Structure 1
Amino acid sequence: MKHTILYSAIGLLTLGGVAFASNLDGQYAGKSEAEITQQLESMGYEIRSIENEDDYLEAYALKDGVRYEVYIDPQTGKVIKIKEDD
């Protein structure tokens, strides 16, 4: 019984993080490192670094103890996808 409750709590925490992360898709994050940092920090992220990779800007960020990679289109400034970093 204790294991079931623990697994349920872990599942809820994971789903909560994924639900929040997917809400960023399509949102404007910025076109410059300074703008991206400001936008994501206003959403509660702590920015670790921003790199230009594979024609996208990748922001490596931390929120609520979870590491994320945020992929941003440099032409539109919109979030293409966000995923938990391994």
Structure 2
Amino acid sequence: MKRTAIALALLLPATAVFASGSPVAQDVQDQITALLTADGYEVRSIQMEDGNYEAYAMRDGARFEVYLDESLTILRVEEDD
């Protein structure tokens, strides 16, 4: 029982990381932030999801999800409710 509890305690943080997307290298975050800031966005967070970058950002009081490929080309922008 004790081993099971320890194993679960060790797995929970890893599960939380995968559930919320993979971390993105700081230099890539900086590039995405600069790109989106130039377009008028205020970037809140960036993560890797399904092989693409997903940036959560604000512009003109609205929330957006901006999807970029590995070459940092914007694939699509969705307004977040």
Say yes or no: TM over 0.5: yes
The percentage of aligned residue pairs carrying the same residue is 45
- State the TM-score, normalized to the length of structure 1: 0.60
The equivalent position to 1:79 in structure 2, one of 56, 74, 80, is: 74
User: What's the secondary structure of 1:80's corresponding residue?
Assistant: strand
Bigger Rg, which one: 2
Q: Which residue is 1:17 aligned to?
A: none
- Rounded to whole Å, the distance in 1 between the matches of 2:29 and 2:65 is 14
**5+ residue gaps, structure 2:** 1-26
* Residues 15-55 of structure 1: per-residue CA shift (max 9 Å, x gap): xxxxxxxxxxxxxxxx8111110111111110000011111
Aligned length: 55
- State the TM-score, normalized to the length of structure 2: 0.64
Q: Does 1:40 align with 2:46?
A: no
**5+ residue gaps, structure 1:** 1-30
Give 1:23-34 correspondences, 5 Å limit: 32-34=28-30
* Residues 39-85 of structure 1: per-residue CA shift (max 9 Å, x gap): 111111100000111111000000000100000001x2101111001
Q: Which residue is 1:69 aligned to?
A: 65
> Runs of 4+ in structure 1 displaced over 3 angstroms?
none
